[in-house]
């Protein structure tokens, strides 16, 4: 898969900014003190759906519109943020939207999707089962199945890295959580488009290692999922197209445990008073794990989402 060009990312930014302005990035003093070096945070928790995914949904459906291929109904699968993204964009285009989630999915993410007009369907024990069911359902209904990874999603998601790299050109290294791959691949696209020298470090849950295992093997390796906190990274099967982008361009991959993620969520809350969901704190958790290697560098992390249920957050903040 060829990655979006600078011209495509800039065009996507124009589309995104019809819905909301560029999100901020701050050098948080206490987080920097804790890390022992300059630490910048890109606040994708400040989008209208509380996560970066909204950018990709907007560009994906706009690409369908431009090709004259808008369907009557779109279907997709999610643990929450991708579903909100597609729900938001589908509502803007007047399309019916059904989203499949695993049983036991985040109650608050489910409510957020329903509020956007999404028909929510609970099916499967994990994201992979939900995705496979969504594909079958789309085929049965003649609806359009929106994938979790696609070039038309990347052009939108890349706008947040384009914003970050332009705002903080001195970044030496960024830590990027990997769920199904759009965030990390978009960081690669923005880096190449801008000719930036930043090193990109991928971050996976130690309890959902398909991307770490697949990158190491050079092919898709299915891995079990047992994370209880980083639902945005709870993927069992890596995407081959994402691997083709990540393998040559990631500096390395870091695995973070749920305990490390929980600690990072506490630090982010106490140091910035922002709420991070598990995947949203994973980048800072990885940076702290590699703290000794980062001294003197300008480090970037992404608070990629803040959509965590109160019932999950409360015991994390008061262990």
pLDDT tens-digit readout, 81-125: 999 999 999 999 999 999 999 999 999 999 999 999 999 999 999
Q: Is the pLDDT of residue 319 over 90?
A: no
Verify that 46 and 75 share a domain, yes or no: no
Domain boundary among 119, 145, 171: 145
Number of folded domains in the chain? Answer: 2
Verify that 280 and 296 share a domain, yes or no: yes
Q: What is the pLDDT of residue 82?
A: 95
Q: Can you give the pTM of this predicted structure?
A: 0.95
Domain boundary among 91, 117, 145: 145
Q: Domain containing 27 — which CATH number?
A: 3.40.50.1100
SS3 state at 121: strand
Verify that 11 and 116 share a domain, yes or no: no
Domain boundary among 145, 173, 189: 145
Q: Is the pLDDT of residue 1 over 80?
A: no
| Of residues 146, 1, 183, 5, the one with CA closest to residue 62 | 146
Verify that 157 and 207 share a domain, yes or no: yes
Query: Does residue 1 form part of some domain?
Result: no
Q: Are strands 173-177 and 25-27 parallel, antiparallel or unpaired?
A: unpaired
| Angle, helices 310-317/258-272, rounded to nearest 10 degrees | 90
pLDDT single digits (tens) 160-207: 999 999 999 999 999 999 999 999 999 999 999 999 999 999 999 999
Verify that 279 and 130 share a domain, yes or no: no
Verify that 170 and 234 share a domain, yes or no: yes
CA-CA-CA-CA torsion for 105, 203, 282, 13, nearest 10 degrees?
A: -80
Verify that 116 and 96 share a domain, yes or no: yes
pLDDT single digits (tens) 218-251: 999 999 999 999 999 999 999 999 999 999 999 9
Q: Which residue range(s) make up the domain with 99?
A: 54-145
């Amino acid at each position: 898969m060829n990655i979006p060009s600078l011209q495509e990312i800039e065009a996507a930014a124009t589309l995104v900014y019809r819905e909301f302005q560029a999100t901020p990035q701050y050098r948080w003093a206490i987080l920097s003190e804790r890390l022992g070096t300059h630490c910048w945070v890109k606040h994708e928790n400040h989008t209208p759906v509380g996560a970066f995914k909204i950018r990709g949904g907007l560009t994906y459906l706009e690409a369908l519109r431009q090709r004259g291929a808008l369907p009557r109904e779109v279907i997709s699968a999610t643990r929450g943020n991708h579903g909100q993204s597609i729900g938001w964009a589908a509502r803007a285009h007047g399309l019916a939207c059904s989203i499949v989630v695993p049983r036991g999915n985040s109650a608050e993410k489910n409510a957020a999707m329903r509020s956007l007009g999404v028909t929510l369907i609970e099916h499967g024990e994990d994201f992979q089962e939900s995705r496979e069911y969504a594909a079958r359902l789309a085929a049965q209904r003649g609806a359009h199945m929106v994938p979790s990874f696609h070039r038309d999603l990347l052009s939108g998601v890349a706008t947040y890295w384009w914003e970050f790299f332009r705002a903080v050109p001195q970044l030496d290294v960024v830590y990027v959580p990997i769920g199904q791959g759009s965030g990390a691949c978009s960081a690669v696209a923005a880096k190449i488009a801008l000719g930036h020298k930043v090193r990109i470090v991928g971050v996976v849950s130690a309890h959902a290692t398909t991307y770490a295992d697949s990158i190491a093997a050079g092919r898709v390796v299915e891995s079990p999922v047992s994370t209880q906190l980083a639902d945005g990274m709870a993927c069992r099967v890596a995407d081959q197209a994402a691997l083709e982008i990540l393998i040559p361009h990631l500096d390395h991959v870091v695995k973070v445990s749920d305990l490390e993620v929980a600690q990072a969520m506490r630090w982010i809350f106490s140091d910035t008073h922002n709420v991070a969901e598990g995947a949203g704190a994973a980048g800072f958790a990885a940076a702290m794990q590699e703290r000794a290697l980062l001294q003197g560098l300008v480090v970037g992390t992404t608070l990629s989402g803040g959509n965590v249920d109160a019932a999950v957050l409360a015991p994390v903040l008061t262990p």
